[in-house]
């Protein structure tokens, strides 16, 4: 299976990825963002029942590249997205 190439921007939508791929995906994506000088990333996990949001926040709380995270503003997805502030190297 060919790897999926995605452009590195300040937003990533997790709807197109399998839940089991999310931990490695976020790790790689955040590293690429930092390399490109992007230190604030909106992670769209959706609202639903909140299962993916909870999983994403668990991953974020353990990731050494993450300085902080919070729910997005209502215009940027509200509780269906998280704003992640990355540490500058």
First to last CA, the chain: 33
Which residue stretches of 19-50 are H helix?
Answer: 22-35
- Is 36 inside any structural domain? yes
How confident is the model at residue 49, as a pLDDT? Answer: 86
Euclidean distance between CA atoms 17 and 13, whole angstroms:
8
Contact by Cβ (8 Å): 39, 69:
no
3-state class (DSSP) for residue 20 = helix
The domain that holds 38 is classified in CATH as: 3.30.1370.110
The residue segments making up the domain with residue 82 are 11-86
* pLDDT in 10s for each residue of the chain, 89 residues: 677 677 899 999 999 888 899 999 999 999 999 999 999 999 999 988 888 999 999 999 999 999 999 999 999 999 999 999 999 97
CB 61 within 8 A of CB 82: no
Total domains present in the chain: 1
Residue 7's pLDDT is 85
Structure pTM?
Answer: 0.90
User: What's the pLDDT score for residue 56?
Assistant: 96
Asked, for residue 69, whether it belongs to a domain, the answer is yes
The closest of 29, 15, 36, 21 to 81, measured between CA atoms, is 15
């Amino acid at each position: 299976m060919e790897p999926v190439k995605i452009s590195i921007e300040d937003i990533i939508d997790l709807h197109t990825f399998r839940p089991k791929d999310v931990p490695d995906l976020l790790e790689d994506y955040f590293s690429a963002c930092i390399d490109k000088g992007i230190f604030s990333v909106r992670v769209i996990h959706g609202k639903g029942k909140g299962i993916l949001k909870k999983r994403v926040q668990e991953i974020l709380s353990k990731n050494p590249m993450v300085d902080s995270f919070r729910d997005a503003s209502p215009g940027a997805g509200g509780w269906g997205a998280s704003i992640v502030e990355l540490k500058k190297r």
